[in-house]
């Protein structure tokens, strides 16, 4: 057997570089690069190895470990999980900073390879700087925090262990059912240790997307249920994107006539002007989709885990008389909500359903049901035109609404440009109001709804789609959480446009607080403990400029539209900020289970609790 002597770090990097996949007929490396922030736990091991291959596997220096992991995750999402990035950090706080990002990737079923440094395997110099000493177990380090938020976790304490560990890591990262974050903790001394690795370990490996066929019984049962349904509704989830099944979804919709609603992750799976499209569903849904969901006698959920925002906390379509079919590659998801499971790849499954239902174009949903969907979405489109216009909305503060800002941003974007968001009130407004013209033009992280994802996520999306403008819409609260990768975007030459909506606090949670009977408290800055002069008014334009971006503050919607044109013409990242109203949100949506205090000195809270109990009566248990 031929061998090659390499350090563990050199061997790991060499193995990653050998992993390839075909995308649109073009053979490409699966790993586009490595985000790295070096410290004593990885600079001498991983740092040396990455330097040797910096032309083949780019090493990208970020400003925050959580931010760079967010960027890597966004890159993978924008690539439909076919390509990804790795992230390496030092031990201790550098590693701990990535735990939040790992949780985000886990919740969203997105691949990212995390390579935190770890304590010495030989323990000779213990305790080292930043080492977490557990009094009862010397094997525990900060990296054990990754275990519950990783799909696969390993700690490399001998250099030859990667021969077994890395193939399992790749399988997990690329598996359509098990996909998620992989953490391989690298002991500092082992990173630099050499071993005679088999040359065959580094042979080029071409990975293909595995597509699972349906069980004959499950498929036949689903077809029979659909044939007998009078008012079926299809909910498109993120799995439609990850399976590359958008064309099959459109074909199935046309052939069957079934109305199509969309989750946050599924948005863009079908164009907003498709005849079968009825908009977003659930707590942040349109009146159109929710009206149909309340009347549907069958719901076909495709590639969605049906979290509470989609189901309105199990009140929207979980009636005894409504049948739920879960078409999903993951067995774990296929049986949720007492569903009839159809375990199959979305692309394969939609094709099989169309062939089984409409073999000779002799079956379609009844015309009355189709007409209701079209009538409802037409009403919603008229409402959209009103709330997103540049006309005065007569808000309490006289400032623009989030909906108006989104309307202005949309009017100044091309069809293939991408909008990015994650947390606060904006994801709800985007879900309801954003019109997707192309399949990947909408990028909202809402599985974990992580404040601070937005700017870093925009960087990752831009890296994946360099020919499109990427527009990050973000509230002042999320921007303050994590904004450092704006400087990284300037440094790397990946231009993003950031629109900061400054409503002086956490407007979304302030509305929720009052909606559950609470007094305004600790959310908007005016209701927070502060000095007599109040909290400072933050100059976001000056902050963006300080990080190298071109920036400006605008006063109204008309100025925002003009600024958007300047931003699109600019040669580097551009930040636009404007003040917005914190109290106004658009119509739509439905009940959400947020527990209200059973007893309170506030009458408003007691009233809200009574309403909460009434809402819970609609839940199945």
Q: What is the DSSP string of 444-469?
A: E--SS--TTHHHHHHHHHHHH-TTS-
Cα–Cα nearest to 286, from 349, 377, 367, 210:
377
Query: 3-class SS at 209?
Result: coil
Are 9 and 46 within 8 A, CB to CB? yes
As given in the structure block, the two tokens for residue 115 are 């390579």
End-to-end CA distance of the chain: 62
Please check the confidence at residue 414 and state whether its pLDDT lies above 80. Answer: yes
Angle between helices 367-387 and 287-295 (to 10 degrees): 150
φ, ψ dihedrals at 24, nearest 5°: 55, 40
Please check the confidence at residue 524 and state whether its pLDDT lies above 70. Answer: yes
Which residues 6+ apart lie within 8 Å of 162 measured at CB?
8, 11, 12, 15, 156, 184
Please check the confidence at residue 518 and state whether its pLDDT lies above 80. Answer: yes
- What value does the mean pLDDT take over residues 283-308? 97
Please check the confidence at residue 360 and state whether its pLDDT lies above 70. Answer: no
C-alpha–C-alpha distance, residues 566 and 450, integer Å:
29
Query: 3-class SS at 169?
Result: helix
Going by DSSP bridges, is the β-strand pair 181-187/152-156 parallel, antiparallel, or unpaired? Answer: parallel
- Per-residue confidence (pLDDT) for residue 318, from 0 to 100: 85
Please check the confidence at residue 361 and state whether its pLDDT lies above 70. Answer: no
Angle between helices 485-492 and 65-78 (to 10 degrees): 60
- Per-residue confidence (pLDDT) for residue 362, from 0 to 100: 75
- What value does the mean pLDDT take over residues 146-158? 98
- What value does the mean pLDDT take over residues 149-154? 98
**Residue written as token pair 């939040």:** 100
Cα–Cα nearest to 240, from 182, 172, 300, 288:
300
- Per-residue confidence (pLDDT) for residue 254, from 0 to 100: 92
Question: Quick one: how far is CA 419 from the chain centroid?
Answer: 12
- Per-residue confidence (pLDDT) for residue 83, from 0 to 100: 98
- What value does the mean pLDDT take over residues 287-296? 97
- What value does the mean pLDDT take over residues 499-512? 96
Please check the confidence at residue 242 and state whether its pLDDT lies above 70. Answer: yes
Cα–Cα nearest to 267, from 48, 478, 430, 487:
430
Query: 3-class SS at 283?
Result: coil
Between the CA of residue 457 and those of 167, 264, 453, what are the distances in Å?
28, 16, 5
- What value does the mean pLDDT take over residues 306-334? 95
Query: Confidence band (pLDDT; 50, 70, 90) for 63?
Result: very high
Are 479 and 556 within 8 A, CB to CB? no
- Per-residue confidence (pLDDT) for residue 392, from 0 to 100: 87
Are 240 and 339 within 8 A, CB to CB? no
pLDDT tens, 565-612? 999 999 999 999 999 999 999 999 999 999 999 999 999 999 999 999
C-alpha–C-alpha distance, residues 615 and 609, integer Å:
10
For all residues of the chain together, what is the average pLDDT? 96
As given in the structure block, the two tokens for residue 498 are 């950031």
Q: Is the pTM of this model over 0.85?
A: yes
C-alpha–C-alpha distance, residues 303 and 306, integer Å:
9
C-alpha–C-alpha distance, residues 422 and 124, integer Å:
44
Cα–Cα nearest to 460, from 436, 481, 438, 488:
488
C-alpha–C-alpha distance, residues 6 and 416, integer Å:
44
Q: Which domains does the chain have, with CATH numbers?
A: 3-207 (3.40.50.970), 216-380 (3.40.50.1220), 393-579 (3.40.50.970), 592-621 (no CATH)
- H-run or E-run covering 32: strand 31-36
């Amino acid at each position: 057997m031929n061998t090659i002597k390499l350090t563990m770090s050199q061997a790991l990097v060499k193995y990653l570089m050998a992993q390839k996949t075909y995308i649109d007929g073009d053979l490409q490396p699966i790993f586009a690069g490595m985000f790295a922030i070096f410290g004593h736990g990885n600079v001498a091991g991983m740092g040396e190895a990455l330097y040797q291959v910096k032309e083949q596997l780019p090493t990208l220096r970020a400003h925050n470990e959580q931010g760079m992991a967010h960027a890597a995750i966004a890159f993978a999402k924008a690539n439909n999980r076919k390509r990804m990035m790795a992230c390496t950090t030092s031990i201790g706080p550098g590693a701990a900073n990535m735990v939040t990002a790992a949780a985000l990737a886990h919740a969203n079923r997105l691949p990212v390879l995390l390579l935190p440094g770890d304590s010495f395997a030989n323990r000779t110099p213990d305790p080292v700087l930043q080492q977490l000493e557990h009094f009862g177990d010397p094997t525990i380090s900060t990296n054990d925090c990754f275990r519950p938020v990783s799909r696969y976790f390993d700690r490399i304490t001998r250099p030859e262990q990667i021969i077994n560990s890395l193939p399992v890591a790749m399988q997990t990262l690329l598996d359509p059912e098990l996909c998620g974050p992989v953490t391989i903790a690298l002991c500092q001394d082992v990173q630099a240790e050499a071993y005679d690795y088999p040359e065959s370990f580094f042979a080029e490996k071409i990975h293909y997307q595995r597509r699972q066929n349906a069980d004959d019984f499950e498929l036949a049962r689903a077809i029979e249920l659909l044939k007998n349904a009078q008012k079926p509704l299809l909910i498109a989830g993120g799995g439609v994107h990850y399976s590359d099944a958008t064309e099959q979804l459109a074909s199935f919709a046309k052939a069957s006539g079934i109305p199509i609603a969309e989750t946050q992750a599924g948005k863009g799976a079908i164009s907003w002007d498709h005849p079968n499209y009825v908009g977003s569903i659930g707590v942040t849904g349109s009146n159109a989709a929710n009206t149909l969901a309340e009347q549907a006698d069958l719901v076909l959920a495709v590639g969605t885990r049906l979290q509470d925002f989609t189901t309105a906390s199990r009140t929207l379509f979980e009636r005894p008389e409504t049948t739920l079919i879960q078409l999903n590659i993951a067995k774990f998801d296929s049986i949720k909500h007492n569903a009839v499971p159809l375990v199959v790849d979305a692309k394969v499954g939609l094709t099989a359903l169309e062939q089984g239902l409409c073999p000779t174009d002799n079956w379609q949903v009844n015309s009355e049901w189709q007409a209701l969907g079209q009538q409802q979405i037409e009403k919603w489109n008229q409402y959209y035109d009103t709330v997103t216009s540049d006309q005065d909305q007569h808000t309490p503060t006289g400032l623009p609404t989030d909906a108006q800002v989104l309307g202005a941003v949309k009017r100044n974007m091309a069809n293939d440009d991408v909008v990015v968001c994650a947390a606060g009130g904006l994801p709800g407004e985007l879900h309801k109001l954003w019109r997707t013209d192309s399949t990947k033009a909408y990028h909202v992280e809402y599985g974990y709804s992580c404040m601070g994802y937005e700017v870093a996520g925009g960087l990752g999306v831009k890296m994946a789609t360099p020919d499109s403008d990427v527009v990050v819409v973000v509230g002042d609260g999320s921007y303050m959480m994590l904004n450092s990768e704006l400087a990284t975007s300037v440094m790397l030459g990946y231009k993003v446009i950031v629109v900061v909506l400054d409503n002086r606090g956490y407007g979304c949670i302030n509305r929720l607080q009052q909606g559950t009977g609470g007094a305004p408290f600790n959310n908007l800055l005016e209701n927070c403990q502060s000095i007599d002069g109040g909290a400072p008014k933050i100059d976001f334009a000056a902050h963006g400029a300080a990080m190298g971006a071109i920036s400006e503050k605008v006063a109204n919607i008309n100025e925002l539209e003009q600024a958007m044109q300047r931003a699109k013409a600019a040669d580097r990242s551009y930040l636009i900020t404007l003040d917005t109203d914190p109290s106004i949100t658009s119509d739509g949506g439905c009940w959400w289970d947020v527990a209200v205090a059973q007893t309170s000195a506030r009458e408003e809270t007691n009233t809200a609790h009574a309403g909460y109990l009434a809402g819970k009566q609609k839940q199945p248990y």
